[in-house]
Chains A and B, each alone.
Chain A
Amino acid sequence: MFIVDCDCHNYWCSATVLEPYMDGVFKDMFVRGEKTGPRGAFPHGHRPWFHPEGFARHDVNPVEEDDNYTIMKEKHLDKYNIDVAILTGDEPIEASTLANPYYADALCRAYNDYLIDYWLPKDDRFWGSIVVAPQDPQLAAAEIRRAGGHPRVVQVLVSHGAARPYGDPFYHPIYEACAEMGLPFAMHLGGQGGINAAPIGAGPTTFFWETHAILPQTAMTHVASLIAQGVFEKWPALKVVIIECGVAWVPSVLWRLDANYKALRKETPWLKRLPSEYFKSNIRMSTQPLEQPQNIQHLWATLEAMDGENTLMFASDYPHWDYDDVTKLHIPPAWREKVLGLNALDVYSRLPQRVREAAE
């Protein structure tokens, strides 16, 4: 079985690893300024929720920077025979929470250079996500064109916490750049706080587990917005990957979108297909964490309603507290080959021929 892990977090012990990749005033701010983040000391507008146990698995305890890779190799890549790991960073997507878009952009650029320089050469299985700060789409687009040309970069990544829904024409320069570079646009759960002040519809929740369970509502907003604002009519080949936002809500939102569109298509005359059809052709959902009903058939019926065989892609979320190993993925057995690897090969079109041949 050919396995692509679409959400493999490359950690650092300290964000000081970025120092060599920064210069000028932003390096000055990075070295001397206030750092709001957790142990990695990365600046961001902090979320109001704290994980009571920390985010990482307790059997992953790097001391030196290189431990981050060696532990990942031993406990994840080698152990589960992962063929392709799409690296999704960790704290850098929190750059989207900063009010200062210039500093946020500088942090993203530094991270992307560090990713390319430090992580990608470490292992043939590594492919990279460059991080951009969507609060200034022009700067983000410039960064996509700058760093997105690296042959081992396979996607553009932002947080799903955002100041406005991602279909908004405000963001369209980002999709223009993604389309030009042939890169998917991915959003990962996170980025609550700072300028992304309303990730939860009715205001802040109280407990971490409660919050984590209902965070998909932000992803619902982005799915509706991307489709309604015609992003997939303007860029029909663009793929959007939604990571770690749950999946069982997808059919219900698509049903609602289709029903409302049938009554009010006149609001969005640029659409040519039903909302659910744009979803199936252009949006892909990562599996982790799959919902866990007591009766697995309830989940499978739901996944079927979203064409899960073709729209789901395996993700482990290594090394986070709710990590899924590939042997425990609760999907219909007949779907495993597609969901574990082949669907991702369609999305990550930059993965070279030799990788594709390995999948056959």
Chain B
Amino acid sequence: MTTRHFACKTADVLRDAPKIVSVSNLSIGIFSLNDGYHALLNICPHKGAALCEGPVCGTTRQTSDREFVYDRAGELVRCAWHGWEFDIRSGEFLVDPTVKARRFDVSVEGDDLYLHI
């Protein structure tokens, strides 16, 4: 059973710079991507660091030998401390998708942004 919580105004969330809010005693990063808003718990499942305070970036696509294709720009966040890469939409760690950052549903009404916790 989730509850809807007001988080912030949509204008507070910039591209490539998540808005960190505190809702229900949880620190949560809200990201703005092409397809809308996404939210992750601001705690890295690796060592508990401030996941959402790391850079929003892309990475290399898995390729065959010695080919470097930079891909997914703006769709990943690297944890602020140890650099693990997480898919902002799914919360999945790229190296091992069974490791997941906790994600929350986001909804928008007018210019108000809500988190479902």
Contact = CB atoms under 8 A, between A and B. Distances in A.
Interface of A: 169, 230, 233-234, 261-267, 269-270, 272, 274
Q: Is the interface of B mostly helix, strand, loop or mixed?
A: loop
B87 interface: no
A263 B63 CA distance: 18
Given A263-B82, A264-B83, A270 B63 contact: yes
B95 interface: yes
Contacts of B114: none
B95 A269 contact: no
A266 B65 contact: no
Contacts of A265: 59-60, 85, 94-95
Contacts of B68: 269
B27 to A, nearest CB: 22
B111 interface: no
B62 interface: yes
A262 B79 CA distance: 11
Given A262-B84, A263-B83, A270 B95 contact: no
A265 B61 CA distance: 10
- Of A169, A233, A234, A269, chain B has the most CB atoms within 10 Å of the CB of A269
B84 A263 contact: yes
Contacts of B82: 262-263
Contacts of B46: 262
A233 B95 contact: no
B63 A261 contact: no
A270 B64 CA distance: 5
B60 A269 contact: yes
B69 to A, nearest CB: 7
A288 to B, nearest CB: 35
A274 B95 CA distance: 8
A81 to B, nearest CB: 45
Given A230-B65, A274-B95, A266 B84 contact: no
A269 B63 CA distance: 6
Given A262-B46, A262-B93, A265-B95, 17 more contacts: A169-B66, A230-B66, A234-B65, A261-B95, A262-B82, A262-B84, A263-B83, A265-B59, A265-B85, A266-B60, A266-B85, A267-B60, A269-B61, A269-B63, A269-B67, A270-B65, A274-B95
Contacts of A261: 95
Nearest to B76: A266
Residue from the set A230, A234, A262, A267 with the largest chain B CB neighbour count within 10 Å: A262
Interface in B66-101: 66-69, 82-85, 93-96
Contacts of B65: 230, 233-234, 270
A230 B93 CA distance: 21
A262 B86 CA distance: 11
Contacts of B83: 263-264
A269 B62 contact: yes
Contacts of A230: 65-66
B111 to A, nearest CB: 36
B62 to A, nearest CB: 5
Nearest to A234: B65
Nearest to A258: B95
B59 A266 contact: yes
Contacts of A264: 83
A111 to B, nearest CB: 32
Nearest to B81: A263
B66 A270 contact: yes
Contacts of B69: 269
Nearest to A274: B95
A320 to B, nearest CB: 38
A270 B65 CA distance: 6
